[in-house]
Amino acid sequence: MNKDRIILEAEDISVNFGMYGKGLSKYDLTVIKRLNVTVHEGEILAIVGASGSGKSVLAHAVLGILPSNASVGGEIRYCGKPLTKSLQREKVGSEIIMIPQSVTYLDPLMKAGQQVMGLKGTKQQLEEAFRRYGLDMSTEKKYPFQLSGGMARRVLISTAVISDAKLILADEPTPGLSEDMADETMRHFRELADKGCGILMITHDIEAALKAADTIAVFYDGMTIDCCTAEDFRKGREALKHPYTRALWSALPENGFVSADVSALMKGAS
């Protein structure tokens, strides 16, 4: 494994959605203005930031699954090569794997086991993943509506971890999971990363993210506003530079639960 090798590089990404106003008038809605992220081999990058700051849209842009009214600017490179439509078609699903945010991404008409195995997985891998995530083997035969929120989340994680992915895009992998399970997921991510996989994790659960991540990127209003090491975040407020990142730290329930006025804060920063 080469820690200097870049797996994913997104440079100056912008995303616009074409929207319809009254009648036939059209306008563009910009959700991402300028995002920059880099994921190296063996690195776990956690993206944190306000909801609606474009975190999921970025992941969807990498996978090429944005709706047809979206236009993407800037450049995304995968292992040094521009991630074109044809490269996406080749790599997505085999080397680039997504753990979606919403449990509604599970096919409601397909049993959980089938969805986890996909086209290439084996029964043995399935059993291994289920055991690891504390899912009973009877889960295999269940449909998504029969699963609880946390179980559905674990099924989603299992789909990604049994593949031979080189890049995992995990969009909010921990909501609904108990602390033990969230810790186990983070440990597993670390193992996968140590084997050479690059992981981009979008999360609000900073507490869990800090247990595994190497780097933390902070998004706000469609821009990357700060990038720091997880070590800085663990040290506490004083080690952080950007006022938004500091406010984020102070807002954690264990650090005071302070709700700062973000717009005033951002004005002060710029």
The residues that touch another protein, with contacts defined as CB under 8 A, are 48-52, 56, 101-104, 134-136, 139, 148-151, 153-154, 172, 174-182, 204-207, 247-249, 251-254, 257-260, 262
Integer Cα distance of 65 and 45 in angstroms:
21
Nearer to another protein, 84 or 178 (CB): 178
Least distance from another protein to the Cβ atom of residue 208, Å: 10
Least distance from another protein to the Cβ atom of residue 169, Å: 16
Least distance from another protein to the Cβ atom of residue 152, Å: 9
Least distance from another protein to the Cβ atom of residue 224, Å: 15
| Cβ neighbours of 54 (radius 10 Å) | 26
**Residue owning tokens 């084996």:** 122
CA torsion sign, 25 to 13 to 88 to 169?
A: negative
Length of the chain (residues): 270
Query: Cα-Cα-Cα-Cα dihedral of 146, 177, 31, 239, to 10°?
Result: 180
In order, the DSSP letters of 196-259 are T-EEEEE-S-HHHHHHH-SEEEEEETTEEEEEEEHHHHHH-GGG--SHHHHHHHHHSGGGT---
Nearer to another protein, 119 or 257 (CB): 257
Determine the angle formed by the axes of helices 149-161 and 123-132, rounding to 10 degrees.
Answer: 130
Least distance from another protein to the Cβ atom of residue 71, Å: 16
Nearer to another protein, 3 or 131 (CB): 131
Nearer to another protein, 1 or 252 (CB): 252
Nearer to another protein, 95 or 105 (CB): 105
